[in-house]
Structure 1
């Protein structure tokens, strides 16, 4: 949900009461150029009110919070970022490779394509909430799910994969590029985001998906690290 700024509010106070961070608020609201200058009456988009990434701690395979951004030591035994040769594959290919072919495309433009992932995406989904729509389409293109299993909500896609005997939940340490990762982005039941695991970079997990990276809040296909708690990782085992 959004938050209307009140007189006397500061970003740090809002971040503390909403269990987020100043940097996450600024990422979600690119119109804010100075963290010390916000205007009463204006509306803030809270991280988790639509798909995107926050600055909450994610646990790495060692069980410690992965908070260092510049750690140059990779986690022992973890595949390198983008190691699709070690990833999960369906009858028609790797969902990671399929997703990577669309890096930096706007989700709104991708949906207009008449073949491939774009053709499998639902045109009726808003351009700020395409994460499950995009991941579902990548799984369809890889031959891992049918059109009837496509879902435009994270929770719906989670349930469909839980009900599919070809998918099993795994831990982060066992994740492979192409696995479906659902993240908790806020306190609400539907404050969720879904991406594909892309490997490890500097000891932290990296993900690819449709993320709120444009200045107007719309989504673009990007690959990055995320600091949200992980709800589930589904791995194709057929």
Structure 2
């Protein structure tokens, strides 16, 4: 069994195709509970291989690994959020981009008090369906065949693009009634809804956080 050091932008499905194995085999060999989230910099054990696949400084691999694309049709996604400590899926990246576009089309960097509208608009533009409800209701209305709840600290979630955040309450008068919701951009700091919030981690007075990941 060989080791591969996970790089930013890698996905388990792409690596499975690259090393002629399966996602389930990789997940089983590495005790990965959520195959959609892997951590850059961690060593991944490759079952059935005896060579080394640690990335060289030039961006390729050394040992017996390939240096370009992937085998079996797999693809390592780049683009927005490629520096996140996990392999964001194309759907997650699509939602992050749609969220930023919705925010810029509504409030820019200034809140309009319409966070759920911004998130719903982003989901509709990314995936073609609408999710109703205010900030503390939208989590119950996300279709469970298209989103699943994940457990992680907010600091880690903000490093991954395309996650839906919901809070039951915030410190503002309206937020104490309607909560708040946003989509992560993957830069480790900001999130988007009806506006771009530059420092979501520093926003105090919020409680009841839930995090959801698209599974499409």
TM tier, shorter chain?
Answer: 0.3 to 0.5
Higher strand share: 1
**Normalization by structure 2: what TM-score?**
0.46
Give the number of the structure whose alpha-carbon radius of gyration is greater: 2
Bigger relative CO (Cα 8 Å, ≥ 6 apart): 1
